[in-house]
Amino acid sequence: MVFSRTGWAKDQNGTVALEFAILTPVFLLMLTGMLAYGIYFGAAHALGQLAADAARTAIAGQDERERNALVAAFIGQNAGAYLLLDPRKLSYEIGDNPKDPNQYVVRLRYDATELPIWNLYPPLPLPSTQIVNGATIRRGGI
């Protein structure tokens, strides 16, 4: 048995326009969400890079006071150069590890409340508004 299209079912003019009108908002929402999450994770990555670079700077210091001064100066001078980071929203804790003085620790905290991810729709799961990242470096030995 062969079925043939007759009447309105045969006319497919405008089908593509209808599909475009239905699917475009869905694609735009997906693209917006991917972009917002990408910016958030980009800021988290930049924070990790800043922490690692700051920890490497500590190697030049002779004692904890000098290491702290070097790292604080590095963070103050360079935080704005890292993509997506605003130095005014950055706080840090630096210093020798109390349990192991041969280990220097840099812990950074970034207030991400102004990133565009918070403009997404409420049913989506969102990460924390605080991005925390850190790095540690040893001063010789194992």
> pLDDT tens per residue, the chain (142 residues)?
555 555 555 666 777 888 888 888 887 777 777 888 888 999 999 999 999 999 999 998 889 999 999 999 999 999 999 989 999 999 999 999 999 888 999 999 999 999 888 777 667 778 889 999 999 998 765 5
Residue 86 falls inside a structural domain = yes
Which tokens hold the place of 75? 């963070």
Give the count of domains, the chain. Answer: 1
Residue 37 lies in a domain: yes
With respect to residue 6, please indicate whether it lies within any of the assigned structural domains: no
Whole-number pLDDT of residue 30: 77
Decide if 7 is inside a domain. no
Structural domain contains residue 3: no
Range of the domain at 134: 12-138
Amino acid at the residue 122 = P
**pLDDT for position 29:** 74
pTM of the predicted model, to two decimals?
0.77
Q: What is the pLDDT of residue 110?
A: 97
* CA angle centred on 86, ends 128 and 34, rounded to 5°: 50
Q: Residue 124: inside a domain, yes or no? A: yes
Ramachandran region, residue 129 (left: φ > 0; alpha: ψ -120 to 50; beta: rest)? alpha
What the block records as the tokens of 105 is 């620790």
- Tell me if 4 is assigned to some domain: no
Whether 96 maps to a domain, the answer reads yes
